[in-house]
Structure 1
Amino acid sequence: MALHALLRRNLTSFFSENLLSPSISNGSLSLHIACFSTAIETKPSTPPSVFEFLTNKHQFSPQVASRAAPILSRSHRPENFDSVLSFFKQTGFTNSHLEKMLIVRPNLLAADLEKIIKPKIQVFQDFGFPSDDIAAIISKEPLILHVSLENKVVPALSWLKDLLGSIDKVARALRKSGWLILGDLENTTLPNVQTLMSRGMSRDQLVRLINYMPRVILYKPETLSRCLENMDKTEVVWSSKMYVYAVAIVCSMPGGAWERKLQAFREILEFSQDDIVRALRQYPIVFSVSEDKMRMVKNLLLGTGKYDASTIAKFPRVLLYSIEKRYKLRFEVLGMLESRGFIEKWPSLRSICTLTDEEFFENYIDPYKGMIGEDYLGKKAVRFKREGKLVQAV
C-alpha cells in the first residue's frame, strides 16, 4: 500500500512538472515513461538449479542428476561444483566416470579442490599411473579421495608397487578393488600376507591371488585364519597350480558358508568326499555355483536320459555353462538328430560343453542342414558363427 502511494505521488509530480516545462518534448516524455516502466517490470535472473546445472551444462543423465541434486542443493559451496567437474574432465575423467561417482558420493563436488582432490590425483600421477587408470580406479572407489595421503594412499601404493613390480600391475589390481588402498595396511593386509606366506604361499602365488580375488588379504586376520583351517581339510597341496584359486573360493565363504556349500554338493549332486577333493583340485571355481544352478543342471542332464549324476562328478565344469545358451539348444539338436536316425549315440558331456558354437555347428548341424535346417530356422536360440557370418541354426 505504501509503495503504491509512493509510485502514484512520483508519477503525479513527474507529469505536473514536465507538462508545464516547454523543454520536454513528447518524444522525451515517452522515452522517460518507457524507461520507468521497464525498470519496474525487470526481475533479477535466478541462478539455475543444481539439476539444471548437471543436465544442461555438464550433460549428466536426468536419472543421475535427480539423485545427486537433492544432496548437492544443501551444499554451502555451490560455486565449487563447476571447478571440480572441470578439473576431473581435464584429468581424463569421462561423463561415465563422473556419473558413477555422483551416484555413490555426490558430495564430492563440494569437496575442497585444492586441499582434498588435487593432492590425491597428483600422487597417482607422480607414481606414474596413466590418466585412464586413474579415472577407472577413482570412479570405482571415490572414497579414495577422502582418505589420508600419508596414512593410506602413499603407503598402499608403495607396497603394491614393491610387491607387484609395475604400475601397470598395480593399476590392474586396483581396478578390481580400491580397498587395497582403503584397507588397514598395517593391521590387516600385511599380517594376512605374512600368514599366507608363512603357510607356504609363494610370492608369485600371492600376486596371482591379489589379481584374482584381492579381498582375501583384506579380511580380518582371524577370519582368514579360519578359512585357511578349512583349506587344510581339503587336501589340496600348496604347490598345486589351482591352490590360489581354491584359497580364494574357500575364503569367499567364511563362517559356516563353506560347510553348507560342501553339504549341498553331497546332497544335491551326490558327490563323495573324493569327488569334492578332486573338483577342488581341478576346478575350484565350480564351488561358487549356487544351489539353484546345481539343481537345474542336474535335472536337465538327467532329463535327457543320457547322463546321470556321476557324470557331473567326473566333469564338474558342467556346472559353469549357461543352461539357456549352451545346454538346451544343443540337447534339442542332438535329440532331433537321434530321432531321425542321423546319430546313434550322443557325444560325451565334456564334448557338448567344451565345443565352441562354430565346432558344434560344423559337427552336428552343417552335415544335416539340408535335412533338418528348416525345422529350426526362426526359433529363438543361440546363433552359430560360421565363416565369419552368423547363421541362425535353430
Structure 2
Amino acid sequence: MISILRRKITCCLFADYASPHCIARSFCLRLFSTSNEGACVSSAAIFDLLQQKHHFSAEVATKAASVLNRVKDTEKCNSMLSYLQQRGFSNTQMEKMVKVWPELLLARFSNSIEPKIKVFQDMGFSSKDITKIISANPSILKVNLNSRVIPLLSMLKGSLGNNEAVAKFVSRSGWFVTVDFKRTMLPNIELLKSYGVPMERIIKLMYTFPRCMMLNPESFRKSVEKAEEMGANRSSRMFIHAVQALCQMSDNVLELKLKALRNCGFTESDILVLFQKSPSVVVMSADNIRTTKDFILSNGKYGMPCILNNPAALSCSIEQRYKPRFQTLEILENRSLIKYWPTLASLCQMSDEKFFERFICPYSSELKNACTADSSLKLKHWLKNCQ
C-alpha cells in the first residue's frame, strides 16, 4: 500500500512539474520530504535528465521517474542513454524503449546489451537493422541469448532468406521472442510449403498477420484443412488469405458467421463462392454485409451475380463510395449523358481520381444543375473542385 501511494504521489508530482507551474512541484517536494525525501529528489533528477537533457516527452519522463524512484545517482541512466546513442539508436527509438521498459536505464551493458548487439553484428545485421529490431521490442534484451535469441534469429534467417527480411519481420512482430518459434512458426511454415504454397506468399502472411503463423500447429493445421474444405485452391493467391481469415476464429464463431451470411440471403453455394474469391467476407460484420448488399441491389443496376463475381464490393463504404457514385451515374443516365453504368467491379476498384476524371469533369455543368440538397457531400465536393 505504501509503495502504491508513493508511486501515485510521484506521478502527481511530475504531472505538475511537467506543466509551467513549478510552484506545485516545490510544494510537493516540501510536503513529502519526510522519509521519502531522497526518493522524490531522485525521481525529480531522473525526470530532469530525460526531459531536459535527452528531450523525452513529459509522459515518458514521468513514467520512468516513478518506476526508478529509488535511484540516488542518475549517472548510470545517463551512461546507458549515451551508450545507446553511440550504438546508433535515435532519440525517438530510445524514448520508445524507455517507455516500454524503464528499467532498461539500469541494465548492465555487459549482460543485457553488448552480447546481444554483438550477436546481431556477427550474423551480418547492419547498425540500422539492429536498432530497428531492438527498439521495436526491447524485451529481446531480457531473454536468454543462447537458448532463445541465437536459435530464433538463425531459424528466421533460414526461413526468410536474408537479414533485411528478418529485420522487417522482427520489427513488426517483436513479441516473437516470447514464443517458441521452433515449435510454432517453423512447423506452420513447413505445413504451408507441403501444400505447395510458395515461400514469398508465406513471407507475406508472416508480415501481414504474424500471429496467425504463431498459432499452435494443430490449430493452424485445422485452419489450413478447413480453407481447402471450403474450396480455397492451394495454388491460388487467395489461399493464404483464406487460412488467415479462418485462423482468426474458432469453429463456433465460424458457424455463427456462416449462419449470418445465410440470413443475409446467400445460399450455401453463394457463401463458398464469396469465400473463395474474398475470404475476408467471413470476418466482416453481418449487419454491414446485409446493408451494403441491399444498397447495391436497390436501384436494379446490379444483381446478386455481380456481387458473387466481385465479393470485395461488400467491403466498400456506402457513404464514401457507393452513394456519391450512384447519385452521379443516375443524374448522367437521366440526362442521357451515359448509356451504360460501369460494371460493379470497375465501380468498386476505380479510384476517386479516376471516377472524377471520367464521370464528373466532362459533365460538371449538368451535374451542378441537377445537384440537390440531398446529394452526398462527396458529390458536392467533386463539383466544387470543378470550379
TM-score, with length taken from structure 1? 0.75
Give the distance between the partners of 2:104 and 2:368, measured in 1 at CA: 58
Cα–Cα, structure 1 residues 319 and 143, in superposed 2: closer, same or farther, change >3 Å? farther
**Partner of residue 190, structure 1:** 186
Q: CA distance change for structure 1 residues 250 and 91 in 2, over 3 Å: closer, same or farther?
A: same
1:90 maps to a residue whose letter is: Q
What is the Cα-based RMSD across aligned positions, in Å? 3.4
Q: Which residue does 1:170 correspond to in 2?
A: 166
Cα deviation 1:224-262 (Å, max 9, x = unaligned): 233234224212232223212221221122353333333
Determine whether 1:129 maps to 2:125: yes
Distance 1:96-1:382 versus aligned 2 partners, 3 A rule: farther
Q: Name the CA shift for 1:297/1:126 in 2 (closer, same or farther; >3 Å).
A: farther
Taking a change above 3 Å as real, the CA distance of residues 137 and 274 of structure 1, as seen in their structure-2 partners, is farther
Higher deviation after alignment, 288-297 or 363-372: 288-297
1:151-194: per-residue Cα shift (whole Å, max 9, x none)? 11111111111222211122222233224443202333333334
* From 106, 110, 114, the counterpart of 1:110: 106
Inter-partner Cα distance in structure 2 for 1:328 and 1:51: 53
Q: State the Cα distance separating 1:74 from its structure 2 match.
A: 4.2
1:357 and 2:352 matched: yes
* Range with greater deviation from structure 2 (287-296 or 154-163): 287-296
Give the equivalent residue in structure 2 for 1:381: 378
Aligned equivalent of 1:280:
275
Q: Are 2:52 and 1:62 equivalent residues in the alignment?
A: no
Q: What is the letter of the counterpart of residue 267 of structure 2?
A: S
The structure-2 alpha-carbon separation of the partners of 1:138 and 1:294, relative to structure 1 and needing over 3 Å to count, comes to farther
Conserved in 1, the CA contact under 8 Å of 2:137 and 2:171? no
Q: Does 1:317 align with 2:312?
A: yes
Unaligned runs of 5+ in 2: 1-40
Point out the structure with max Rg over C-alpha: 1
Paired with 1:303 and 1:393, the residues of 2 have a C-alpha distance of 29
CA contact (8 A) 1:361 1:384 kept: no
Q: Give the conservation status (yes or no) of the 8 Å contact 2:49–2:74.
A: no
CA distance in 2, matches of 1:254, 1:359: 41
Whole-angstrom CA distance in 2 between matches of 1:244 and 1:159: 21
Whether the 8 Å CA contact 1:78–1:110 is kept in 2: the answer is no
Q: 1:75 to 1:296 in 2, by over 3 A?
A: farther
Secondary structure in structure 2 of the residue aligned to 1:235: coil
Task: Select 2:247's aligned residue among 224, 238, 251.
Answer: 251
CA distance change for structure 1 residues 136 and 252 in 2, over 3 Å: closer, same or farther? farther
1:348 aligns with 2:357: no
Contact 1:365/1:373, CA 8 A, preserved across alignment: no
Tell me the percent identity. Answer: 38
Contact 1:157 1:181 survives alignment (8 Å): no
Residue 327 in structure 1 maps to residue 322 in structure 2: yes
CA deviations over 1:200-243 (Å, ceiling 9, x no partner): 54545533432343222311223223323422421223222321
Q: Deviations over 1:113-138 (max 9, x none)?
A: 22102222222233222333333322
Quote the residue 2:144 is aligned against.
148
Letter of the 2:248 counterpart: S
Question: For residues 285 and 90 of structure 1, do their structure 2 counterparts lie closer, same or farther at Cα, with a shift above 3 Å needed?
Answer: farther
Deviation of residue 382 (structure 1)?
Answer: 8.0
Q: Hey, what's the Cα distance between the residues in 1 that align with 2:316 and 2:115? A: 46
Residue identity opposite 2:378 in structure 1: A
**Which AA in structure 2 matches 1:170?**
V
How many residue pairs get aligned? The number is 345
Post-superposition Cα deviations, 1:284-319, rounded to whole Å, max 9, x if no partner, equal: 234443335324423443455544555432311113
Gaps of 5+ in 1: 1-45
Q: 1: distance between equivalents of 2:132 and 2:291?
A: 37
Letter in 1 for 2:345: R
The code of the aligned residue for 1:70 comes to S
